Every structure is written in C-alpha cells, then in structure tokens.
Amino acid sequence: QKEVEQDPGPLSVPEGAIVSLNCTYSNSAFQYFMWYRQYSRKGPELLMYTYSSGNKEDGRFTAQVDKSSKYISLFIRDSQPSDSATYLCAMMSLWAGNMLTFGGGTRLMVKP
C-alpha cells in the first residue's frame, strides 16, 4: 500500500462547478501538506502549502487538512477550462529531510 493515495480520475466537470480533490495518507509523521498542479509536458506548480491541520484559502482555491482522519482536500470554486490539469498532493515529515511524498495525481477536465 502506498503512503499517499489519490484517486487517478479522470474527473470531468462543467465550467463553473466546485471541484473537490482528495488524498488519504498513512504516515502520521506528515506535518506539511501541499497541492501542486501539473499541465501536460510541464513541471508541478505549487498551488497551496499548509502546515498541520486546518483550512487555507487563496483565491478560488481552499486547502483542508484533517490530521485525525489522515485526509486532505483541495476545493476549486468556479472552475475554469484552464484548471484542466493533473493535481498532485504532496506531504513531508520533519524526520525525512525535505523529501516530498506525492500522491499519484488526479486528472481534472473542466468542460466549457
């Protein structure tokens, strides 16, 4: 079983919909949680960065971390066709250097 699990999708939604992306993890030592967006033939682009549990909002994006359930989410409001990409969750513990452990990614398609 992988340390970080993520539904690969694809997830197809109409433009303007609210998108919910999720990851579960098994390592309770993870303290830092990130969401990256990756377009085809491009590198991962950092979207959200959170420490420990709670919510963080940035524009149309909201990241939630529930450490008790080992579950993190990314919500995208008013989704746009330009949001179509693969979304990767990533996590880090204090005791593994700065090694990021990634989920497998969820492919999102927003249809006009």
Partner 1 sequence: DSGVTQTPKHLITATGQRVTLRCSPRSGDLSVYWYQQSLDQGLQFLIQYYNGEERAKGNILERFSAQQFPDLHSELNLSSLELGDSALYFCASSVGADPNQPQHFGDGTRLSIL
Close Cβ partners of 89 (under 8 Å, ≥ 6 residues apart): 4, 6, 21, 23, 33, 34, 35, 36, 72, 74, 102, 103
Close Cβ partners of 85 (under 8 Å, ≥ 6 residues apart): 37, 38, 39, 40, 107, 108
Query: What is the smallest separation between the CB atom of 58 and partner 1, expressed in angstroms?
Result: 13
Name residues contacting partner 1, limited to 72-91 (CB under 8 A): 88, 90
Assess 35 for contact with partner 1 (CB under 8 A): no
Assess 108 for contact with partner 1 (CB under 8 A): no
Assess 45 for contact with partner 1 (CB under 8 A): yes
Close Cβ partners of 43 (under 8 Å, ≥ 6 residues apart): none
Assess 112 for contact with partner 1 (CB under 8 A): no
Query: What is the smallest separation between the CB atom of 52 and partner 1, expressed in angstroms?
Result: 11
Residues binding partner 1 (CB under 8 A): 31-32, 34, 36, 41-46, 49, 51, 88, 90, 92-94, 96-105
